[in-house]
């Protein structure tokens, strides 16, 4: 294709060629939209080229279908598409950034920062309904600007949901970065594997072929992280091993789990000259506000629990039947609350239904018990529910990822909240 490719009749002025995939017949151009003077990226699918094939047309259709759904700051926006004599053009938002494969050398802290931002994009994609699997995550498909803002590009191999892959699609993706299960049935964990391999390339400063040399002959998908990165912090090594495990059952099964685990790592600090701006001030602010709200909830629930236990003990006799009912109630509430949180994490759109489930079941238990057995059992069940809520909220508060609170500080805050709750509960008696 000539560098004099002309799209002025369609309203675009070509400025420069950004990249070329000769086998796929794809050329990427930097251009200006004449009407708005906006800089855009035009991906040209040249089906008329002798070396290309019309299989690219399916990738074009798939990418358009995927991109039209997406709205995330880490994914260049789909703007338009048009048909030319030689094929089709996909027009997207222009990002002033370089491919990760061409970026400068990065520190461990910077790699962690980038990992969190790509995981944030994957969390967004995986929480869509159906989830979107990128299936070609590699350094060339991640853009990075000087502020270390990360962008995920090239959704030509992406799929809607974890569907079976046809035989003709077996090799979709880039060899070396593809998870073993992706050949047959890709899952949300498949993109986790690809990101893990990408991060290993960044940390070792080696290409994929050099990385794969160290893999066992009987299992080429299993990277030997410890031998590749012997100087890396052991916590980070463990996290990378779980990212890149060849067995999907031993890997993080979705991006949110991988992201939360990475945020929990207490990695050694680097020298000030190597530290880049905060991972994401908005994310940290949200995490810390959730941590503070959790402490308040633990304190308040402890107050109610202490008061309820003392009230029940002072008013009613603790019989074997009451204790058995309280125990069964505790089990039922624990299962319900754990299920509600699981639903909320798996599908953001179902969080209100999960919240309703968490509230309605305790209310029903108390109401039904008062109607069937009487006020004694209702009060006992209410006291039990209060205690279980304290335990569950404490557990989930402890799981909130935060880079600001280490284990000792966290334990101190929890004990302080419980102590305040107990004190206030006793004073209410």
Q: What is the per-residue pLDDT across 86-105, written as a single tens digit (0 to 9) for each?
A: 778 889 999 999 999 889 88
pLDDT band at 126, cuts 50/70/90? very high
Integer Cα distance of 359 and 65 in angstroms: 39
Name which of 135-149, 193-207, 242-256, 341-355 the model is least confident about: 341-355
Are 83 and 201 in the same domain?
no
Picking from 67, 93, 119, the residue at the C-terminal end of a domain is: 93
Integer Cα distance of 401 and 265 in angstroms: 9
Are 63 and 46 in the same domain?
yes
Within-domain flag for 84: yes
Sign of CA dihedral 172, 174, 180, 186: negative
What is the average pLDDT across 416-424?
Answer: 81
Are 121 and 181 in the same domain?
yes
Integer Cα distance of 79 and 67 in angstroms: 9
The domain total for the chain is 3
Integer Cα distance of 297 and 284 in angstroms: 20
Are 129 and 269 in the same domain?
yes
Q: Give the DSSP H/E element, type plus range, for residue 87.
A: strand 87-93
Report the chain's mean pLDDT, rounded to a whole number.
77
Are 263 and 380 in the same domain?
no
Q: Which domain holds residue 394?
A: 281-427
Are 81 and 111 in the same domain?
no
Measure Cα distances from 15 to 7, 35, 42 in Å. 11, 15, 11
Within-domain flag for 252: yes
Are 268 and 300 in the same domain?
no
Are 111 and 256 in the same domain?
yes
Task: Give residue for tokens 């039904």.
Answer: 368
pLDDT band at 277, cuts 50/70/90? very low
Within-domain flag for 380: yes
Integer Cα distance of 303 and 305 in angstroms: 5
* Residue 272 confidence (pLDDT): 37
* Residue 278 confidence (pLDDT): 40
pTM: 0.60
What is the average pLDDT across 404-418?
Answer: 72
Between 411 and 52, residue with greater pLDDT: 411
Integer Cα distance of 214 and 262 in angstroms: 25
């Amino acid at each position: 294709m000539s560098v004099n490719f002309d799209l002025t009749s369609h309203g675009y002025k070509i400025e420069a060629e950004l990249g070329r995939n000769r086998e796929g017949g794809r050329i990427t151009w930097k251009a200006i939209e004449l009407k708005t003077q906006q800089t855009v990226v035009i991906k040209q699918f040249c089906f008329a080229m002798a070396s290309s094939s019309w299989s690219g047309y399916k990738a074009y259709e798939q990418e358009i279908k995927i991109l039209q759904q997406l709205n995330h700051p880490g994914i260049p926006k789909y703007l338009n598409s048009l048909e030319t004599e030689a094929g089709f053009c996909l027009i997207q938002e222009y990002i002033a950034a370089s491919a990760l494969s061409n970026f400068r050398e990065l520190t461990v802290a910077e790699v962690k920062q980038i990992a969190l931002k790509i995981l944030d994009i994957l969390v967004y994609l995986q929480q869509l309904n159906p989830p979107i699997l990128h299936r070609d995550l590699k350094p060339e498909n991640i853009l990075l600007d000087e502020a270390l803002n990360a962008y995920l590009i090239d959704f030509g191999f992406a799929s809607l949901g974890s569907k079976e892959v046809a035989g003709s699609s077996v090799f979709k993706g880039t060899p070396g970065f593809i998870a073993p299960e992706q050949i047959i049935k890709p899952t949300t964990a498949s993109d986790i594997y690809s990101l893990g391999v990408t991060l290993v390339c960044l940390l070792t400063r080696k290409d994929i072929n050099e990385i794969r040399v160290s893999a066992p002959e009987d299992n080429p998908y299993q990277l030997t992280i410890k031998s590749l990165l012997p100087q890396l912090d052991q916590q980070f090594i463990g996290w990378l091993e779980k990212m890149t495990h060849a067995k999907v059952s031993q890997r993080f099964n979705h991006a949110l789990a991988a992201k939360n685990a990475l945020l929990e790592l207490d990695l050694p600090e680097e020298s000030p000259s190597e530290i880049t701006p905060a991972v994401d001030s908005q994310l940290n602010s949200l995490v810390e506000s959730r941590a503070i709200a959790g402490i308040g909830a633990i304190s308040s629930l402890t107050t109610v629990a202490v008061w309820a236990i003392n009230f029940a003990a002072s008013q009613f006799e603790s019989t074997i039947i009451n204790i058995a009912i309280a125990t069964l109630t505790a089990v039922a509430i624990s299962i319900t609350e754990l299920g509600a949180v699981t639903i909320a994490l798996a599908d953001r759109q179902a969080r209100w239904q999960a919240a309703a489930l968490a509230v309605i079941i305790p209310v029903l238990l108390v109401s039904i018990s008062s109607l069937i057995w009487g006020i004694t059992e209702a009060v006992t069940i209410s006291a039990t529910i209060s205690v279980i809520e304290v335990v569950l909220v404490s557990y989930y508060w402890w799981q909130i990822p935060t880079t600001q609170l280490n284990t000792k500080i966290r334990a101190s805050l929890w004990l302080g909240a419980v102590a305040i709750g107990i004190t206030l509960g006793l004073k209410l008696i």
